[in-house]
Amino acid sequence: MLSPVKTAVLVSGGGTNLQALIDAAAAGTLKSARLSLVISDKESAFALERAKKAGISTEVVVKKGKTQERFEEEVGALLEKNGIELIVLAGFMCILSGAFTKKYENRIINVHPSLIPSFCGKGFYGLKVHEAALAYGVKVTGATVHFVNEIPDGGKIIMQKAVEIEEGDTPETLQRRVMEQAEWKILPASLEKVAAELLRSRE
Ligand code: GAR
């Protein structure tokens, strides 16, 4: 039995997707990846508390006041120091450069709260995605987990799940339903899939 793939989760906010990963690990459904490190670009991110409670090491790398290059150097140094092989962006609100994503080709996955290619790319993050979906009037939205490359939300799709829009939805009610019905399910499942494939390729 090969040891699970050392995984870092990058966060910026509440960390409910990180929690879904922690819960999947505790339930034994996430077994091919080990959650080894959580990095936040925000000191105040509640995700850090979730990580600490679960006994996962945490680091903060603030982006403000740094060049993109310097920021990525600091993140990269932590990943290397901790022997990280897979990276999950779980509500991480910084865009990574092509130089960074190339270094971790097929090793970074992201969860996005829409059915890509709708409502994605630069400027579409968090509640803004749901505001745009409601403004457009789509009847179905959802979430996507994809590999991260140099194009924002442009990498190969790993999993998607559709979610119905309901009468009277607000961006907040829709965000919550998309998380509950889609993100918290397909993110742990995608991480398990990618990590299991990585382990199989090493056998
Ligand atoms: C989630 O809905 C996630 O899909 C979204 O931000 C939220 C973070 O919530 N990410 C993006 O919009 C990235 N483009 P969380 O901190 O509770 O996981």
Its domain, for residue 11, covers 5-202
Contact 7, 195 (CB under 8 A): yes
| Pocket mutation for ligand 1, best pick of 49, 179, 185, 190 (most atoms within 8 Å of C-beta) | 179
What's the pLDDT score for residue 198?
97
- Please identify which residue in the block is written with the tokens 């996962």: 56
What's the pLDDT score for residue 1?
66
Beta pairing, strands 157-164 & 140-147: antiparallel
- Over residues 69-114, the pLDDT tens digits come to 999 999 999 999 999 999 999 999 999 999 999 999 999 999 999 9
pLDDT confidence bin for 202, thresholds 50/70/90? confident
Backbone torsions φ then ψ of 30, nearest 5 degrees = -105, 100
- Angle at the Cα of 104 from the Cα atoms of 101 and 105, rounded to 5 degrees: 80
112 is catalytic: yes
Q: Which of 48, 11, 7, 4 minimizes the C-alpha distance to 126?
A: 11
Dihedral-angle region of residue 28 (phi above 0 means left; psi in -120 to 50 means alpha; beta otherwise): left
- Over residues 121-143, the pLDDT tens digits come to 999 999 999 999 999 999 999 99
pLDDT confidence bin for 2, thresholds 50/70/90? confident
**Atom in ligand 1 nearest the alpha carbon of residue 152:** 14
CATH number where 142 lies: 3.40.50.170
99 alpha carbon, distance to own chain's centre: 19
**Whole-angstrom Cα distance, residue 187 to residue 112?**
10
Q: Which two tokens stand for residue 139?
A: 């009847």
Number of domain units in the chain: 1
**Whole-angstrom Cα distance, residue 73 to residue 196?**
28
